[in-house]
């Protein structure tokens, strides 16, 4: 096992990251991540948590440095607003309301949905909107507002199939897991002790029901992605300057 920062281990414990489910809900696959059980509650090994988290961070940094699009998925009420804010800060796409079936496997269909919604939005701002009856205006506006909420995280942010997907609860987001797995999109999943994580490319053992635990993991991933983006932007700027010098020569 690789060397880990003792401060991270302490934070891991303080933030309830290592508190799993009761032993009766344990998935056999999670045994490799469990250190012990206390009063019939699984305790995840904090060293394994930090080790897997470090691996995930390095890989996400590489993806971001290559200008990859990283899709964040969390429809759990306890963390959906937080995930939306993190993804927005990174200018990355997110799904926090409801997963669209086919979002990855049939991305062209989703693009059509986005285009259609943009057309409907344009109608409201057109002169023709005033000629609609008040009832039709109300129906159209409600329809658009509903779609705007659902498409908010992917409209203009997900213009191609994602290069990676970060999932907070792989059991709740099972359809997203299936689609990403089928298409070969790397999955970075927070995995509790009650799930089988065979299909997760980069599993991160942790308590996925506690906001403090989720924040502990996601904040680390966020920093790694920011570092990758900075590397990409730095490289891009260097290339732009180089091209400019060449043109002036």
Largest CA distance in the chain: 74
Is-contact 60 228, C-beta < 8 A? Answer: yes
Q: What is the pLDDT of residue 248?
A: 46
Residue-wise over 167-180: b if at least 16 C-beta within 10 A, else e? bbbbbbbebbbebb
Task: State pLDDT tens for residues 157-170.
Answer: 787 889 999 999 99
Q: What is the pLDDT of residue 151?
A: 85
Whole-angstrom CA distances from 233 to 2, 63, 237, 238 are 31, 13, 6, 8
- DSSP helix/strand/coil, 167: strand
The candidate with the shortest Cα–Cα distance to 86, out of 233, 214, 231, 236, is 214
Mean pLDDT of the chain: 91
- DSSP helix/strand/coil, 199: coil
Q: What is the pLDDT of residue 146?
A: 82
Rounded Cα gap, residues 6 and 171, in angstroms: 30
Burial environment of residue 108 by CB neighbours within 10 A (0 to 12, 13 to 18, 19 or more): exposed
pLDDT confidence tier of residue 88, bands split at 50, 70 and 90: very high
How much is the pTM? 0.89
Task: State pLDDT tens for residues 25-54.
Answer: 999 999 999 999 999 999 999 999 999 999
Q: In what order do the strands lie in the sheet with 41-44?
A: 19-22, 41-44, 34-38
Classify residue 91 as left (phi > 0), alpha (psi -120 to 50) or beta: left
CA 230 to chain centre: 19
Task: State pLDDT tens for residues 94-142.
Answer: 999 999 888 999 888 888 888 888 888 888 888 888 888 989 889 888 8
Q: What is the pLDDT of residue 244?
A: 62
Q: What is the pLDDT of residue 71?
A: 97
- Please report which residue ranges of the chain form alpha helices under DSSP H: 6-14, 46-65, 80-89, 107-124, 134-151, 174-183, 211-248
Q: Is the pLDDT of residue 1 over 60?
A: no
Q: What is the pLDDT of residue 241?
A: 64
Whole-angstrom CA distances from 239 to 63, 197, 225, 233 are 19, 41, 21, 10
Q: Is the pLDDT of residue 197 over 50?
A: yes
Tell me the CATH number for domain 6-104+161-242: 3.40.50.10490
């Amino acid at each position: 096992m690789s060397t880990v920062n003792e401060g991270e281990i302490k934070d891991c414990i303080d933030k309830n990251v290592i508190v799993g489910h009761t032993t009766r809900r344990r998935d056999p696959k999670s045994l490799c991540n469990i250190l012990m059980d206390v009063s019939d509650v699984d305790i995840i090994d904090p060293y394994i948590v930090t080790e897997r988290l470090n691996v995930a961070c390095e890989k996400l940094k590489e993806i971001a440095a290559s200008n990859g699009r990283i899709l964040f998925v969390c429809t759990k009420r306890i963390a959906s607003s937080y995930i939306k804010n993190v993804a927005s800060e990174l200018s990355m796409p997110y799904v926090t309301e409801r997963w669209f079936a086919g979002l990855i496997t049939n991305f062209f269909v989703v693009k059509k949905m986005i285009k259609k919604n943009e057309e409907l939005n344009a109608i409201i701002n057109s002169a023709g909107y005033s000629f609609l009856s008040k009832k039709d205006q109300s129906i159209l506006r409600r329809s658009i507002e509903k779609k705007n909420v659902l498409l908010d995280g992917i409209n203009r942010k997900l213009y191609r199939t994602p290069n990676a997907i970060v999932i907070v609860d792989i059991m709740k987001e099972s359809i997203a897991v299936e689609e990403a797995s089928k298409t070969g999109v790397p999955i970075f999943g927070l995995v509790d002790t009650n799930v089988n994580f065979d299909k997760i490319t980069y599993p991160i053992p942790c308590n996925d029901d506690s906001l403090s635990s989720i924040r502990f993991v996601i904040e680390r991933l966020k920093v790694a992605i920011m570092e990758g983006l900075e590397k990409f932007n730095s490289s891009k700027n260097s290339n732009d300057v180089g091209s400019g010098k060449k043109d002036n020569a």
